[in-house]
């Protein structure tokens, strides 16, 4: 019996050692998994941060482009308005010339100083001769 008890004690001791090795292996695996998960989490946080930075930068660029476009549209609309005024004056003057008007007929309004100077046009200092 003593041998049976000794054999059983050895088997129990061997099983306890095997159990301890398995527990340590599980613990190491769990720690490795947690390290890997933490690294993955940090990588994802950095990636999200970079994406947010990119979105903010692209939003700023888009807003600046819209503001620039709006400004250009405003300038073009102003130039268009001035050109329409000048065209109306020219058409009025042409109509007066076609009818053979005399000096008693009112002249078309002179839009040169107001309109053409805004557009950077010049008539060499003489409003009547283009």
Domain assignment present for residue 14? The answer is: yes
**Is the pLDDT reported for residue 47 higher than 90?**
yes
Residue 128 lies inside a defined structural domain of this protein: no
Maximum separation of any 2 CA atoms in the chain, in Å = 147
36-40, 73-77, 124-128, range with the lowest pLDDT: 124-128
- Asked if the structure places residue 34 within a domain, the reply is yes
Question: Whole domain around residue 114: which residue ranges?
Answer: 2-119
Q: Using 50, 70 and 90 to split pLDDT, how confident is the model at 106?
A: low
Of the chain, the percentage scoring pLDDT greater than 70 comes to: 77
In the predicted structure, residue 28 carries a pLDDT above the cut 90 = yes
Domain total for the chain? 1
| Residue 108, in any domain of the structure | yes
The pair of structure tokens assigned to 39 is 């690294």
80 assigned to some structural domain = yes
Asked whether residue 31 is assigned to any structural domain, the reply reads yes
Domain for residue 127, yes or no?
Answer: no
CA 14 to chain centre: 67
């Amino acid at each position: 019996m003593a041998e049976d008890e000794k054999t059983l004690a050895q088997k129990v001791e061997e099983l306890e050692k095997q159990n301890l090795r398995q527990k340590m292996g599980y613990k190491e695996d769990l720690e490795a998994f947690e390290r890997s998960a933490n690294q993955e989490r940090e990588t994802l946080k950095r990636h999200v941060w970079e994406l947010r930075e990119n979105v903010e930068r692209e939003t700023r660029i888009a807003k600046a482009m819209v503001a620039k476009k709006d400004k250009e549209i405003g300038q073009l609309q102003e130039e268009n308005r001035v050109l329409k005024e000048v065209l109306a004056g020219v058409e009025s003057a042409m109509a007066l010339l076609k009818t053979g008007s005399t000096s008693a007929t009112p002249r078309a309004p002179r839009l040169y100083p107001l309109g053409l100077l805004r557009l950077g046009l010049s008539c060499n200092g003489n409003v009547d001769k283009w």
